[in-house]
């Protein structure tokens, strides 16, 4: 047995956050994933395949997400609202030794502006901290991605600064605003999520 055989992993889980259900993706989500990932704003801020096809969605759901979870490097959740796929939120770059992970998300165009990203990212960060003992959950947003920064702030993530040239999108390298949530933040009244 190697050290890798005993590396921690996430188990498939369903979480709820108000009207949101966060559950494992399955192939019945593929059409909606493909449609949302063809949206220009999603393409603008995420370095996903361009064009984004149904086959890309099926690979993401059937191969990428299960392998990520089984490796312990992260976990992907479908965000459902009233039976419809509203978006995807994930934990990635998971460092079990340091208990640090990063949250990421996208929201389908029809579901934007109603708190989906802020609620889902808060729920996932709280789950990582409370159920898995993580000490720090990071969130990065490009300096130009105002909606993502706003969502992070509403979720109670604390803005720490700008990591220069740290990210990439289809148009090239970007500076990233770094946010984090740590266990003590969960008790701070000023960092309670601001959900409308």
Closest CB to ligand COA among residues 56, 148: 148
DSSP letters spanning 15-39: EEETTEEEE---GGGHHHHHHHHTS
d(CA 41, CA 61): 21
Output the smallest distance, CB 122 to ligand COA, in A: 9
The SS3 of residue 196 is coil
d(CA 134, CA 1): 26
Give the burial string for 27-45 (b: 16+ CB within 10 Å, else e). eebbebbbbbbbbeebbeb
Residues 122, 17: contact at Cβ < 8 Å? yes
Output the smallest distance, CB 181 to ligand COA, in A: 15
Closest CB to ligand COA among residues 85, 151: 151
Closest CB to ligand COA among residues 9, 38: 38
Residues 147, 183: contact at Cβ < 8 Å? no
Instruction: Find all residues with CB under 8 Å of 21, minimum gap 6, and list them.
Output: 14, 15, 79, 80, 81
Closest CB to ligand COA among residues 47, 133: 47
Contacts to ligand COA by CB under 6 A: 41-42, 45-46, 105-107, 112-118, 141, 145-148, 150-151, 154, 196
Output the smallest distance, CB 194 to ligand COA, in A: 8
Output the smallest distance, CB 41 to ligand COA, in A: 5
Closest CB to ligand COA among residues 147, 186: 147
Output the smallest distance, CB 7 to ligand COA, in A: 27
Closest CB to ligand COA among residues 116, 182: 116
Output the smallest distance, CB 45 to ligand COA, in A: 3
């Amino acid at each position: 047995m190697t050290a890798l055989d005993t590396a921690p992993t996430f188990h498939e889980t369903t979480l709820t956050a108000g009207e949101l259900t966060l559950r494992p993706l399955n192939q019945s989500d593929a059409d909606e994933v493909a449609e949302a990932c063809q949206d220009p704003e999603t393409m603008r801020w995420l370095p996903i395949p361009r064009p984004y096809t149904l086959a890309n969605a099926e690979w993401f759901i059937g191969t990428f997400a299960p392998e990520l979870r089984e490796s312990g490097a992260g976990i992907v959740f479908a965000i459902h609202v009233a039976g419809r796929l509203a978006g995807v939120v994930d934990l990635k770059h998971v460092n079990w030794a340091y208990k640090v992970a990063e949250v990421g998300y996208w929201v389908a165009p029809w579901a934007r502006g109603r708190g989906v990203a802020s609620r889902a990212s808060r729920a996932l960060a709280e789950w990582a901290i409370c159920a898995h003992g993580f000490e720090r959950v990071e969130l990065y947003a490009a300096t130009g991605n105002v909606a993502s920064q706003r969502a992070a702030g509403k979720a109670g993530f604390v803005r720490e600064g700008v990591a220069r040239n740290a990210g990439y999108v289809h148009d090239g390298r970007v500076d990233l605003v770094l946010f984090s949530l740590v266990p003590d933040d969960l008790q701070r009244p000023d960092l309670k999520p601001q959900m409308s």
